[in-house]
Chain A
Amino acid sequence: MKLPIYMDNQATTPVDPRVLELMLPWFTEKFGNPASSSHSFGWEADTAVKKARKQVADLIGADPKEIVFTSGATESDNIAIIGSANFHKDRGNHIITLVSEHKAVLDSCRHLESEGFDVTYLPVQTNGIVDLDVLAAAFTDKTILVTVMAANNEIGVIQPLTEIGALCKERKVYFHTDAAQGVGKCPIDVNAMNIDLLSISGHKFYAPKGVGALYVRRRPRVRVKPVMFGGGHERGIRSGTLPTPLLVGLGAACEIAQQDMESDNKRVFALRERMRHGIMEQLTHVELNGDLEQRLAGNLNISFNYVEGESLMMAIKDVAVSSGSACTSASLEPSYVLRALGVNEEMAHTSIRFGLGRFSTEEEVDFVVKTIVKAVNNLREMSPLWEMAQEGVNLDEIEWAAH
């Protein structure tokens, strides 16, 4: 077993070696610019791009013409939200989203607020899932867009996309989903789910970093204003030379995901359950954050009461996990996603995210469980909170000096 053990597959995934192998020739031998229309280097690159477009479309039940390649989910989210809101602002200025969305969605919404749009940030239930009645009640006659993520990056909970899509369709409101954590890991069908715009990130499911896609529905046609202008690539929605090797990688990863999703998920789920039981059976005062059922197969987010998350990460330095999301863990603020679930700040500080993936093994899981249990026990021995809890002190009744 090789150390460190990577259990942070919601932050990023390694490229699948099968994917990398298919990418390599496109760097050196078949290096043409897909926009070069005058020679065979360009044509073969263009053919590869077409194939990748179809592979991506097939995975989500879309038409290849509906796929726009981007540099990643952040860019896709920006185009989908800012681009569609700006295009349709004559129809209304109200947008609905969730407090637990990814920063790329929240920051896009905040930007729109600064331009005069109204944004409703809906709460989520204690299991992390949006209450559909609350969502239904949030629509106004000014609502033009609902943006709700497919799966959460921190707690892995899966939102009811089909139901949300139906609500949006009834009201003729566009539905965007940031599916960076969903695509390739849970089945998504843009037609069955009435999704109008969908963001994809390559590096969250074994394709390379620096590439993603945006699904933009053609029937009925959804229009977006570009964020980036230039040579008119990608039907004018996203200019810039297409990075053929990365697109070949994205396409290949989609095809593998489509073939292996069921078996991959079954295996990863079994490993995750082994891990969950291993931890829960050996430690008291641990809590799972987020819904257990509606959840990505590989995600666990656990609060280890009385043990601060960062010190726990240090104690298990042979295991790569994250406390909060990778985008915010360098800051001291506890995770806003956990806070949205009603997890108190103290418990949020004690949370660790485990992201199991395609390359995780049973041996690794057993090692991680053993390491975690040992580290938590050690740190609790060192924790004044644990000591007080053992003495029967109710920590909630203590008046702590605010710091």
Chain B
Amino acid sequence: MAYNEKVLDHYENPRNVGSFDKSDDNVGTGMVGAPACGDVMKLQIKVGDDGVISDAKFKTFGCGSAIASSSLVTEWIKGKSLDDALTIKNKDIAEELALPPVKIHCSVLAEDAIKQAITDYKKKQ
């Protein structure tokens, strides 16, 4: 099972690893997956007054594809409005990273993480 180059790139040079203060009102946190399944993804967004995602960070416990999926979406959602961020589908992620069928669930997790982070942010407002 050879990894796609884009997966390897994100895995070896992950973008936006880290955390924001989750009690900050401008921060939305999404945490999806479960350790027993081998994947846990934490995605955080920082939203500006204009409703645009100004920054994003992630931490992921999971395989290379899970790490790559989360790294990729942090890049994608930065600069997007919340509504635009919600249009990102797991299929887009899987296609961009050329994920094999056994790794599709990684892209599903990433999509879920975006949704959860946005929901969390909205709750705080």
Contact = CB atoms under 8 A, between A and B. Distances in A.
Q: Do chains A and B touch in the complex (CB under 8 A)?
A: yes
B35 A387 contact: no
A223 to B, nearest CB: 43
Contacts of A310: 38, 63-64
B14 to A, nearest CB: 7
B19 interface: yes
* 5 closest A-B pairs by CB: A400-B34, A346-B35, A384-B42, A345-B36, A310-B63
Given A330-B1, A403-B105, A385 B61 contact: yes
Contacts of B109: 403
Grouping DSSP codes into helix (H, G, I), strand (E, B) and loop, the B interface class, with mixed when no group exceeds half, is mixed
B64 A314 contact: yes
A345 B37 CA distance: 7
B63 A311 contact: yes
A311 B67 contact: yes
Interface residues of B, number: 29
11 contacts: A306-B61, A332-B38, A345-B36, A345-B38, A383-B59, A385-B40, A386-B61, A387-B42, A395-B35, A400-B36, A403-B109
A50 B48 CA distance: 81
B107 interface: no
Contact of A381 (B17, B31, B38): B17
B93 interface: no
A402 interface: yes
B40 A401 contact: no
A382 interface: yes
Interface string B30-52: 01111111111110000000000
Contact of A387 (B19, B36, B63, B64): B19
A382 B59 contact: yes
A179 B17 CA distance: 46
Contact of B39 (A306, A387, A403): A403
A381 B42 CA distance: 13
Interface of A: 306-308, 310-311, 314, 330-332, 334, 344-346, 349, 381-387, 395, 400-403
B3 to A, nearest CB: 7
Given A308-B39, A345-B37, A386-B61, 14 more contacts: A308-B61, A308-B66, A311-B67, A330-B1, A332-B38, A332-B102, A349-B38, A382-B17, A383-B59, A384-B40, A384-B60, A387-B59, A402-B37, A403-B37
A229 to B, nearest CB: 37
Interface in B84-109: 102, 105, 109
Contacts of B41: 384
B61 A384 contact: yes
B62 interface: yes
Contacts of A384: 31, 40-42, 59-61
Interface of B: 1, 3, 11, 14, 17, 19, 31-42, 59-64, 66-67, 102, 105, 109
A314 B1 CA distance: 11
A308 B63 contact: yes
Given A381-B17, A384-B59, A401 B64 contact: no
Contacts of A331: 102
A384 B14 CA distance: 14
Contacts of A334: 38
B63 A344 contact: no
Contacts of B40: 383-385, 400
B1 to A, nearest CB: 6
Contacts of A306: 61
A385 B63 CA distance: 14
Given A345-B36, A401-B34, A382 B67 contact: yes
A403 B108 CA distance: 10
A328 to B, nearest CB: 13
Contacts of A401: 32-34
B90 to A, nearest CB: 13
Contacts of B34: 400-403
A337 B49 CA distance: 53
A390 to B, nearest CB: 11
Contacts of A402: 34, 37
A382 B19 contact: no
A215 to B, nearest CB: 36
B36 A311 contact: no
Contacts of B35: 345-346, 349, 385, 395, 400
A82 B113 CA distance: 49
A395 B35 CA distance: 9
B13 to A, nearest CB: 12
